Amino acid sequence: MTANSPSPQSTQPTPQPSQETSQIGKQIRNLVLVLAAVALSVALFLGLQTGRTTGSLAAMAKSSMPLETALVNGKPTLMEFYADWCTSCQAMAKDMSELKQDYGQQVNFVMLNVDNSKWLPEMLHYRVEAIPHFIFLDRKGESIASTIGEQPRPIMTANLQALAAAEPLPYIQQRGRISQVEPSLTPKASAGDDPRSHGAQVLPAS
């Protein structure tokens, strides 16, 4: 009688990932990384674009309050005559955008494009020959001062603070860089009273 020999235990080798499975895993990982990089790039691009647009003339003009509304809502108004091609207007756009964020609840910000013939009556009324040309209006819509030319932010800030508080503007006779308005839209002025001869300045309203 022969002794029963122990039956050998069935041992199966641990399955190893095939080369094909490993390749698929790498491809998926690479795809995820690429998608993440693309998403990050798009977010960064949109963020930069938003930052640029916020302080641009186009964005300011788009968010500008209509003139007819500003004249009747009981708040003082800063009215800017500008043009897209005006380098001084462009240089002030970022500061003006930030000032609007600071004072937009107290002061109306209105922008009028001098290339739009719709605003020719206003240009004639305020004798706009150089831009940027800012008109400061009181709560009744009456002009109390005008600023011609590019102005430093602290000066615009001080004038806006005074305008919001219904106090006299602290800075007058300030000079700044200007852009001339095209002759076809330039209002006529008498030879002895040409605003261009005064450079860029802040003038009390007549």
Predicted local distance difference test score (pLDDT) of residue 4: 56
Per annotation, catalytic residue among 67, 70, 89, 156:
89
Residues 140, 107 within the same domain: yes
Other Cβ atoms closer than 10 A to 188:
7
Percent of the chain's residues with pLDDT above 70? 67
Q: What is the mean pLDDT of the chain?
A: 78
Q: What is the CATH number of the domain that holds 121?
A: 3.40.30.10
**Catalytic one among 60, 79, 83, 86?**
86
In a domain, 7, yes or no: no
Would residue 189 count as lying in a domain? yes
Structure confidence at residue 43 (pLDDT): 52
Name the residue with higher pLDDT: 6 or 89.
89
The pLDDT value recorded for residue 8 is: 52
What pLDDT shows up at residue 14? 55
Residues 138 and 157 in one domain: yes
- Asked whether residue 111 is assigned to any structural domain, the reply reads yes
Q: What is the pLDDT of residues 122-180, one digit of tens each?
A: 999 999 999 999 999 999 999 999 989 999 999 999 999 999 999 999 987 555 777 77
Whether pLDDT at 41 is above 80: no
My answer on whether 109 and 192 are in the same domain is: yes
pLDDT at 3 over 50: yes
Instruction: Write down the pTM of the prediction.
Output: 0.63
Average pLDDT over residues 25-42: 74
pLDDT exceeds 90 at position 82: yes
Amino acid 190: pLDDT: 43
What is the band of 49 on the pLDDT scale with cuts at 50, 70, 90?
very low
Shared-domain flag, residues 196 and 107: yes
- Whether 69 maps to a domain, the answer reads yes
Q: Domain ends where: 54, 77, 97?
A: 54
Q: Is 89 a catalytic residue?
A: yes
Q: Are 107 and 77 in contact (CB under 8 A)?
A: yes
Examine residue 191 and state whether it is found in any structural domain, yes or no: yes
For 142, the domain range is 57-204
Q: Are residues 63 and 74 in the same domain?
A: yes
